């Protein structure tokens, strides 16, 4: 099978397409033919590994896990003899999170992994792009104790996490201000943002508006500079402050919201698998709208 192998840390060209043996299915596993996956900001962080903490987790001199990719959609081709939740031919979505491994033609997962049926109202490309941004947004919004009636600001609102955060904050009953560049105003408004601020023209912290929750979805602001824009009991949270653990209940909630029409994935670009290094280069520029999808 084809895989995208990251054998060392570095620039996007360290990603190489290689043929490896298709994995063998264990009794409690399913073999999935991957139809679509994504290149996320998280994949780029793992690949360039400029942060010492990431090298401590994934390998000091080279990645211990050389196949990246944390989310996917596909079709189950083989089921282990003890599997009861899935059958051959099922269309699924899965989130491998920090276990990665989705940048390949095939992947084996336990039937008890973060794995469920694909939303019926989404294509494989669309459904491959809901888990990373959605799960991350859910984790941090909950960390900020989001609830109905709050005034919420989302900084970096046009990326994979930000576009999910807008929709989820609206689901939880918040009034949402999206901070992004003006070229993304139409996008974030279409996702439910009530107010928009162009970060290249205005400093949201100096406008005089107070927020119950400020969520930095790209990790480029600071708590100290945002403090004056918070209410007395307001909270500041940032993706730079932790990792969102993969969780089946979260994936099921995202699927439910998709099928109810409350959540959609935003796709900026689709690349064929053979151009995955180019996808890494595009994502690393930091200007994508929503997600970058890889098709197999």
Mean pLDDT by 10 residues, the chain (296 residues): 94 96 97 98 88 72 90 98 98 96 98 97 98 97 96 98 98 98 97 97 94 96 93 96 86 98 98 98 95 98
**Shortest CA distance to 143 belongs to which of 260, 77, 240?**
240
State the pLDDT at residue 183.
Answer: 96
DSSP code of residue 147: -
Pairing of strands 230-238, 211-216: parallel
CB 171 within 8 Å of CB 262: yes
State the pLDDT at residue 241.
Answer: 66
**Shortest CA distance to 290 belongs to which of 267, 258, 264, 263?**
267
- The residue ranges of DSSP E strands in 124-229, in sequence order, are 151-155, 175-180, 195-198, 211-216
State the pLDDT at residue 59.
Answer: 77
Q: Is 293 exposed, middle or buried (0-12, 13-18, 19+ CB in 10 A)?
A: buried
Q: Please name the helix (run of DSSP H) or strand (run of DSSP E) that holds residue 245, with its range, or none.
A: none
State the pLDDT at residue 231.
Answer: 97
CA 21 to chain centre: 28
**Alpha-carbon gap, residue 153 to 229, rounded angstroms:** 10
State the pLDDT at residue 243.
Answer: 81
């Amino acid at each position: 099978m084809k895989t995208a192998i990251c054998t060392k840390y570095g620039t996007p060209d360290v990603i190489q397409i290689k043929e490896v043996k298709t994995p063998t299915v264990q009794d409690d596993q399913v073999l999935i033919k991957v139809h679509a996956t994504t290149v996320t900001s998280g994949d780029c962080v793992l690949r360039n590994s400029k942060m010492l903490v990431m090298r401590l987790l994934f390998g000091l001199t080279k990645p211990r896990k050389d196949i990246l990719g944390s989310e996917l959609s596909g079709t189950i081709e083989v089921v282990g003899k003890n599997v009861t939740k899935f059958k051959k031919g099922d269309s699924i979505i899965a989130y491998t999170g920090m276990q990665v491994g989705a940048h390949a033609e095939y992947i084996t997962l336990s039937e008890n992994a973060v794995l469920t049926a694909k939303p019926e109202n989404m294509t494989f490309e669309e459904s491959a792009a809901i888990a990373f941004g959605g799960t991350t947004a859910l984790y941090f919004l909950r960390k900020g104790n989001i609830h109905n009636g709050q005034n919420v600001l989302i900084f970096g609102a046009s990326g994979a996490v930000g576009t999910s955060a807008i929709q989820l904050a609206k689901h939880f009953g918040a009034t949402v201000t999206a901070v992004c560049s003006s070229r993304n105003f139409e996008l974030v408004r279409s996702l439910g943002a009530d107010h928009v601020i162009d970060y290249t023209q205005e400093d949201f912290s100096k406008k005089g508006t107070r927020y119950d929750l400020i969520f930095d979805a790209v990790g480029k602001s600071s708590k100290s500079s945002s403090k004056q824009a918070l209410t007395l009991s307001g909270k500041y949270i940032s993706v730079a402050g932790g990792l969102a653990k993969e969780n089946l209940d979260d994936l099921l909630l995202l699927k439910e919201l998709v099928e109810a029409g409350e959540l959609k994935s935003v796709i900026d670009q689709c690349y064929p698998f053979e151009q995955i290094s180019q996808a890494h280069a595009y994502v690393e520029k930091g200007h994508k709208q929503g997600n970058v999808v890889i098709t197999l």
